[in-house]
Amino acid sequence: MHRAHTAFSLALSPMAHRNFATWLLKSGTSQKLAKATAAAAVRTYNSAAAEPFANGSTATYVEEMYNAWLRDPASVHTSWDAYFRSNTYTSPPNLAPVQANTLPLTAFNLGGGAVAGAAPDSKTIDDHLAVQAIIRSYQIRGHNIAHLDPLEINSPELPGNSSTKTIYANFSFGEQDMERQFKLPSTTFIGGDEASLPLKEILNRLENVYCNKIGVEFMFINSLEQCNWIRKHFETPGVLNFSPEEKRLILARLTRATGFEAFLAKKYSSEKRFGLEGCEIMIPALKEIIDVSTELGVESVIMGMPHRGRLNTLANVCRKPLNQIFTQFAGLEAADDGSGDVKYHLGTYIERLNRVTNKNIRLAVVANPSHLEAVDPVVQGKTRAEQFYRGDQEGKKVMSILIHGDAAFCGQGVVYETMHLSDLPDYTTHGTIHVVANNQIGFTTDPRFSRSSPYCTDVARVVNAPIFHVNADDPEAVMHVCKVAAEWRATFHKDCVIDLVGYRRNGHNEIDEPMFTQPLMYQKIRKHKNCLDLYADKLIAEGTVTGEEVKSVAAKYENICEEAFALAKTETHVKYKDWLDSPWSGFFEGKDPLKVAPTGVKEETLIHIGNRFSMPPPNAAEFVIHKGLMRVLAARKNMVDEKVTDWALGEAMAFGSLLKEGIHVRLSGQDVERGTFSHRHHVLHHQLVDKATYNSLQHMYPDQAPYSVSNSSLSEYAVLGFEHGYSMTNPNALVLWEAQFGDFSNTAQSIIDQFISSGQSKWVRQSGLVMLLPHGMEGMGPEHSSCRVERFLQMSSDDPDYFPPESDEFAVRQLHDINWIVANCTTPANLFHILRRQIALPFRKPLILCTPKSLLRHPEAKSPFSEMSEGSEFQRIIPDNGPAGQNPGSVKKVVFCSGRVYYDLTKMRAEKQLESDVAILRVEQISPFPFDLVKEQANLYKNAELVWAQEEHKNQGSWTYVQPRFLTALNHSRDVSQSDEPMSFSKTTTNTTTTTTDHTNNESASETESKPWLSRMFASNKSDGSTEGGPATGDFNAAKHFDLKNVRHDFNRPAGNAAAPGARISKTGRKISYTGRAASASTATGSKAQHIRELNALLNDAIST
Ligand SMILES: Cc1ncc(C[n+]2csc(CCOP(=O)(O)OP(=O)(O)O)c2C)c(N)n1
Ligand SMILES: [Mg+2]
């Protein structure tokens, strides 16, 4: 199209006019060709470009001509010029034949009346070109008219008519031409061993291949090799022939898929299960993909999928024990901790023998939230990690399959973002097979209102993935497509899409009424036989199976279900662990669950890493480094000599020491290799040689673990999800994602909310992922300032009113119990320790780390090696070590703060010469809140006023999180509780006996009974004295007491003066006041002057006594 347009827009040269005036005036192609051949007869040129049209028979040659003509129309033979001007030529270069077609032109004479060996007449050439164009037209547009829709709502009325119109409207062949023999071009495989076929047969075969139940969309692919591969796999005669055994296997699998849904419908008629009815073929389809892939060497398949057909997939693809699945319907109490999740979200991991290939296979279905498609990048990250740990560099052993709903696949942007990772060196999983369970509806909305693209799969075109549309009512067509998809992936290691076009027999879920919104569609569906019956009828009719066999296979499966159902009834509890998608075998076993390994390292290790990190590549003489970087390296070396570290060096020390200990480190995000703020420089670039780089952290020790640092695509959602998935695979790795600026992390909010903050609670799955979020109000305007730490803190699950029992294990116990860690470190040493602590912990928790911008180069934000060497550790609170700290009794004011504002505060304190009067304490680990240390410090400064100072606005930053926790810490007691359960990581629990997701007031008595928290709320006061002023510390469970009196008290408690800075007065009189900016809708002001004015005001307020 583009080419044609270019051709037309070229101005005709006068020369061209002279030579081709007659040509252009005539309309028929044969006339044009006649002229062209005539011209060829009288002119001879040496160069290829000067050769006439009729001599050029290879596509590459034609392409050459075309390019030459584009550059200068006069440079080619006049006949070529005329041909290109006629706009007949549209073929892109990728569609030229693979090998040179050396066919002499005389070969076109195939009994069309011409004398053998003689030059063909122009009509013969013309007709052959027309046939070629028709073949190509089928390949390009056949899918548009293929019979893809089982309901025939969107199918063409008559294939003949449609083909004529869509495929070859521009070419006219009559009945008399149908028996004519045509030479087949090398761009088609329909002939098999035949070099030529009668036109009728050509059209028949093309019609069958491209316009029947399969629609292949592939001609947009930029690779000729790939296009030919696809043509071959669909066009070769006989590809759709199945043996009777294969047919029986398909039937058996379809029977199970259908039987499973029917069994659930019978036993749990009022339960939501998001059945697959209308697209049951997806189960045999997945099995076929797995069979073929296993045969081709794959040993592990990681799948991501939404609600639809999930239980069926677990049962019949993964072969998860049916009784475990049925137990999920029983509404049993969980045997393990956590909130759990609904049954159609849970993950699984199974290792089993593939009976078809007789090879062992591992299948994982990754747990996923309701948020459609959010699991896609997570699956990719997990797959990538598994490939990495197995040394599977080409994805031959581990692969991913992503299953999508039609509406979500085209509607959710993360699909596009994930697709764009597919070919990036550090993110590729070497080909994903996407399967769309296309039921032609999303909830109540049909495609006419839910997408602007013709297909729901068009997003895949951007990465040149072939798309195989197939009618889900034709099991054999589906199996063929799946086989090709698996072979495609194994051959090219690129994504491809299977679009299973089916329908949805019921409503969105089994309780929904679809006739409300899609009456006509559902009238059709009601009359439509299901796929199993259609296929069984077909196989019976052709004699492959008998009716009795069909019935007996179905009955056998029903028996299996009944047995499992009986077994499920004997279960008393569900176990979330049975649903774990990423077991870490050996990680937890034999470990003291509360013992943290030391994070300090030998000084010589620091020196070694520091020296390596500041060295140019070993072949420095040839490797030309930028002068500015030479200075950076020299400055690093100076620091190492002086035994101090800045931020970048501290981070490198953490990475380097972990790598030394065999811990794989992976840092990913936008521009992380250099670092947004040009401070990191992990990858040195040869200034003269493209792609020649050096990464010193990969060369610290000969036996170190691998280090990978990767600039990512400009996506937060997909890349954060990817790294989360990566972190799930192996606990012995430090996986970090860095936001360019912290605020951009909100485009990945679903990953944060649905996976990172709540994954452990919902799916008993841990992750030690680190999110590095540049944060700090530095006058850069509303964006680029705040990572919105308040949001992360709001999702922290430590109870503000509960002071856990004090013991030596206080800190680690808190970490163990919380959902994630939120910190804002002010020193490189603390950064070093907190990163190392991620691995030193005997469990894994995500770490949300606010990171600095200006502090990266701040002369005071440096740490001596002594703070990182053996015996040192992470400091949750950094006390005041100056004059105030040394003489706490006389301190008038204690300023608690977190993050970079500390340096502004100390500067202001020095300016005011209040070093002895004002103590400044840094809360480095904000969550879980260091109750014990806050209490200890507050007690130390007995007479001082306590202030929380923050640079963020009052409704932002840490204030709303720390305020109630300060009160609890200062009183050293539990204040007033709203719940007798500790706070939870995930919003609701899903086990039907413990909670409800329906927040209506229609609580029946039985509901009250089934919800302990609710019944306790209305129970009589059974106070054991642990309410107001109750036990300061003690047993966690005892301290969870709760009664109505407390609730009332809490509801009625004055909320404090929100407008004025300050003050919730605690019961013992100790209070913490707020100093800082007023609440605001925006994160920062756009004006630098205003920023400075506000900052000065808050510093003054905070420091003045
Ligand atoms: C991000 C997101 N938005 C909205 C929803 C609510 N929702 C659940 S299923 C559904 C329809 C999905 O349609 P489709 O992708 O075609 O899958 P189907 O249910 O038809 O299998 C919607 C809108 C959701 N789960 N996730
Ligand atoms: Mg749908």
- Residues 595-632 have pLDDT tens digits of 999 999 999 999 999 999 999 998 878 999 999 999 99
Is there an atom of ligand 1 within 6 Å of 413 CB? no
406 CA: nearest ligand 1 atom = 16
What does the alpha-carbon distance between residue 286 and residue 282 come to, in Å, rounded to a whole number? 6
Q: How far is the CA of 236 from the centre of ligand 2 (A)?
A: 33
Quickly state the pLDDT bin for 195 (edges 50, 70, 90).
very high
Q: What is the mean pLDDT of residues 776-805?
A: 94
Residue 893's DSSP bridge partners are 918, 945
Residues with Cβ < 8 Å from 456, sequence gap 6 or more? 406, 407, 409, 410, 436, 438, 447, 499
Burial of 115 from C-beta contacts in 10 A (0-12 / 13-18 / 19+): exposed
What is the rounded distance in angstroms from the CA atom of residue 986 to the CA atom of residue 996?
13
Q: Is the dihedral of CA 382, 386, 388, 393 positive or negative?
A: negative
pTM for the model:
0.84
Please give the mean pLDDT across all residues of the chain: 84
Q: Which of 384-393, 594-603, 1066-1075, 1088-1097 has the lowest mean pLDDT?
A: 1066-1075
d(CA 1077, CA 1095) in angstroms, rounded, equals 8
- Closest atom of ligand 1 to CA, residue 309: 21
Cα(308) to centroid of ligand 1, in Å?
9
Q: How far is the CA of 345 from the centre of ligand 1 (A)?
A: 13
Atom of ligand 1 nearest to the CA of 374: 1
Ligand 2 center to 488 CA (angstroms): 26
User: Distance between CA atoms of 109 and 350, rounded to whole angstroms?
Assistant: 61
Q: Which of 372, 402, 511, 753 to probe ligand 1 with, by most ligand atoms within 8 A of CB?
A: 372
Ligand 1 close to Cβ of residue 443 (< 6 A)? yes
Cα(504) to ligand 2 centroid in Å equals 8
445 lines ligand 1 (CB under 6 A): no
Give the model's confidence band at 269: pLDDT under 50 very low, under 70 low, under 90 confident, else very high.
confident
Which has the closest alpha carbon to 382: 335, 418, 416, 342? 418
262 CB within 6 A, ligand 1: no
Matching residue, tokens 């389809």: 285
Task: Give the position, in ligand 1's atom list, of the atom nearest the Cα of 372.
Answer: 26
191-200, 347-356, 438-447, range with the lowest pLDDT? 347-356
pLDDT given for residue 64 in this prediction: 66
Nearest-atom number in ligand 1 for the CA of 412 is 1
Which ligand gives the minimal distance to the CA of 438? 2
Query: In this structure, which residue's CA is closest to atom 1 in ligand 1?
Result: 371
Q: Is 442 in the pocket of ligand 1 (CB under 6 A)?
A: yes
CA of 440 to the centre of ligand 1 (A): 12
- The rounded Å distance from CA 148 to ligand 1 centre is 22
Instruction: State in Å: Cα 484 to ligand 2 middle.
Output: 24
184: left (phi over 0), alpha (psi -120 to 50) or beta: beta
Instruction: Please confirm whether the linkage preceding 928 is cis (ω < 30° from 0).
Output: yes
> Does 205 or 81 have the greater pLDDT score?
205
Ranges of H-type helices in 863-958? 883-886, 901-911, 931-940
Structure-token match 């259609």, residue found: 534
Give the ligand at the shortest distance from the Cα of 345. 1
Report the alpha-carbon distance of residue 851 to residue 737 in Å, rounded: 12
Distance (Å, rounded) from C-alpha 1090 to C-alpha 781? 10
Determine the distance separating the centroid of ligand 1 and the alpha carbon of 118, expressed in angstroms. 65
Percent of the chain residues topping a pLDDT of 90:
70
CA of 197 to the centre of ligand 2 (A): 42
- In this structure, of 838-842, 891-895, 1054-1058, the range with the lowest mean pLDDT score is 1054-1058
pLDDT in tens, 856-882: 999 999 999 999 999 999 999 999 999
415 vs 34, which has greater pLDDT? 415
Q: State the pLDDT confidence band at 155, using cuts at 50, 70 and 90.
A: low
pLDDT confidence bin for 88, thresholds 50/70/90? low
The yes-or-no verdict on residue 1039 having pLDDT over 80 is no
Residue 340 in this model has a pLDDT that exceeds 80: no
Which one, of 280, 245, 279, 329, lies nearest residue 557 by Cα? 280
Relative to the CA of 371, which ligand 1 atom is closest?
Answer: 26
Q: Which ligand is nearest to the CA of 372?
A: 1
Measure 432 CA to ligand 2 centroid, in angstroms: 21
What is the model's pLDDT at position 618?
A: 87
Please give the number of the atom of ligand 1 that sits closest to the Cα of 409.
15
What pLDDT is recorded for position 670? 98
Please state, for a pLDDT cut of 70, what percent of the chain lies above it. Answer: 80
Residue to probe by mutation, ligand 1, list 310, 443, 525, most atoms within 8 Å of CB: 443
Comparing C-alpha atoms, which of 786, 773, 744, 928 is closest to residue 848? 773
* CB 415 less than 6 A from any atom of ligand 1: no
Between the CA of 500 and the centroid of ligand 1 the distance, in Å, is 17
pLDDT at position 1065 over 70? no
- pLDDT of 56 reads 38
Q: Tell whether the model's pLDDT for residue 469 goes beyond 70.
A: yes
* Nearest CA residue ID for atom 7, ligand 1: 443
304 close to 376: Cβ distance less than 8 angstroms: yes
Residue of minimum CA distance from atom 9 in ligand 1: 443
Torsion of CA 580, 583, 586, 591, to 10 degrees: -50
Strand duo 877-878 + 918-923: pairing: antiparallel
Question: What separation in Å is there between the alpha carbon of 798 and the centre of ligand 2?
Answer: 39
Number of the ligand 1 atom closest to the C-alpha atom of 504: 20
Judge if the beta carbon of residue 308 lies within 6 A of ligand 1. Answer: yes
Least trusted range by pLDDT, from 48-57, 194-203, 784-793, 845-854: 48-57
Of 207-221, 340-354, 500-514, 1072-1086, the range with the lowest mean pLDDT is 340-354
Please indicate whether residue 451, judged by its CB atom, sits closer than 6 Å to ligand 1: no
Q: Is the pLDDT of residue 62 over 90?
A: no
Q: Please tell me if the CB atom of residue 439 comes closer than 6 angstroms to any atom of ligand 1.
A: yes
pLDDT of residue 365: 96
For atom 12 of ligand 1, the residue with the nearest CA is: 442
* pLDDT attached to residue 80: 67
Ligand nearest the Cα of residue 276 is 1
Distance 435 CA to ligand 1 centre (A): 16
Can you give the pLDDT at residue 117? 57
The answer, yes or no, to whether residue 1038 has pLDDT greater than 50, is no
Ligand nearest to C-alpha 404: 1
Is pLDDT at 636 greater than 70 in this prediction? Answer: yes
